[in-house]
Structure 1
């Protein structure tokens, strides 16, 4: 199985740190955000990783290289002319991802999610990982049925920016900029999205405050 790390964003809410450094290279202890995620994927048995890049792209390529020192092969999908959003970025990278289901995660999250067997074997257009609603997103995104289906109505949780996706989720897409949530909404309406709630460590490093909270949490 392959994986994609979404790393093309500008990190505007982390300025001035991201004026000269891409958000995925922000240090967390002895490593940076994207290094942590590459290592987590390797531990889960992933040996081929696709990363979409734009803002300070050359720094990410220069730091990670071809991935050999992490035990993986890394391919890059460049968004040179414009940012394509989470959905458009994955759609552009589909030729690198192939025809089989793949993992996708954001470069700006830090988690100890284990990518266990139930996640790997999930068989839907999309299988989403949810977390308890953080203070900055109290309303959540989607609800979960008792059977593990993602639904619109009910107590909502926050999408944790970790998922297993099938390429057929993108069957009706056209090149361009669009969010992944657009495809999720369509697939949820079809009843083809499952999910699970993860209660382990999870941080979304979207602001300087969240970055400092993570740094303190892991020492």
Structure 2
């Protein structure tokens, strides 16, 4: 099992508030968020790579004591996550978790997500349909019918957590689509778009966080939510 954390973006919605440091390096219980995530993944025997770009030295420094492979996207300011993942395509050859590096997950969420035996799956929160960043509309089998930031409230079944998994039996298909899209200059798209393109006839299954805590840091309020949660549940953040 492998994992790739996407940490190349600037995070323009919050950057000025946090003195322009990468969101993933913000401290959670005196530990950089990305360090906590990588530490947990490594403890489960998962090999980890990180896609870096904006202020990559700070991200790499935050992980200097851990065994991590880095892939640098020099075009981070004019491309999106699909391009960052393309630079790491050699690493994608086994069961793999792909996640945004600014996501805080209660460890139980990750443990449950790893149990899915689907070739592809996305992590979601069904309790969040009114406020959020990116939403899915699901069918009766909890598979994705529609997706996007602009879904009408009536079509929202859940919020996307920013974590996906691709199993080894689907890796070659996924990698081929990744290369195809970047070759077609679709480098402005998200990595998830590669999955959507190749699963049109077989909707992607989802796994719900089932009430456990998570947060993606898009705004400073999100960071404060994590800090408040940690202060109330010290044992989870340690």
Correspondent of 1:90 among 66, 74, 85: 85
CA 1:118 to 1:146, structure 2 compared with 1: closer, same or farther past 3 Å? farther
Correspondent of 2:175 among 161, 165, 170: 170
Unaligned runs of 5+ in 2: 148-154, 232-238
Q: Report the CA distance between 1:120 and its aligned residue.
A: 4.2
Aligned to 1:105: 99
What is the RMSD of the two structures over their aligned residues, measured on CA atoms? 2.5
| Residues 77-122 of structure 1, C-alpha deviations (whole Å, 9 max, x = no match) | 101133431222212211023x222011111111114333663452
| Residues 159-197 of structure 1, C-alpha deviations (whole Å, 9 max, x = no match) | 111111243223232435121232233244221521111
**What is the number of equivalent residue pairs in this alignment?**
210
Aligned to 2:152: none
Aligned to 2:28: 28
2:135 is equivalent to residue 136 of structure 1: no
Quick check: 2:35–2:62 contact (8 Å CA) kept in 1?
A: no
CA 1:117 to 1:210, structure 2 compared with 1: closer, same or farther past 3 Å? closer
Q: Distance in 2 between matches of 1:29 and 1:135?
A: 29
Instruction: Give the secondary-structure state (helix, strand or coil) at the position aligned to 2:121.
Output: strand
TM-score (norm 1): 0.83
Correspondent of 2:220 among 193, 208, 213: 208
Q: Distance in 2 between matches of 1:118 and 1:205?
A: 20
Instruction: Give the secondary-structure state (helix, strand or coil) at the position aligned to 1:37.
Output: helix
2:48 is equivalent to residue 53 of structure 1: no
Q: Report the CA distance between 1:58 and its aligned residue.
A: 0.8
User: In terms of mean alpha carbon deviation, does 12-21 or 104-113 score higher?
Assistant: 12-21
Aligned to 1:186: 197
Instruction: Give the secondary-structure state (helix, strand or coil) at the position aligned to 2:68.
Output: strand
CA 1:184 to 1:146, structure 2 compared with 1: closer, same or farther past 3 Å? same
CA 1:82 to 1:186, structure 2 compared with 1: closer, same or farther past 3 Å? same
Quick check: 2:113–2:207 contact (8 Å CA) kept in 1?
A: no
Aligned to 2:150: none
Quick check: 1:66–1:75 contact (8 Å CA) kept in 2?
A: no
| Residues 192-213 of structure 1, C-alpha deviations (whole Å, 9 max, x = no match) | 5211111211111111111112
TM-score (norm 2): 0.77
Q: Distance in 1 between matches of 2:34 and 2:70?
A: 13
Aligned to 2:234: none
Aligned to 1:70: none
Unaligned runs of 5+ in 1: 68-72
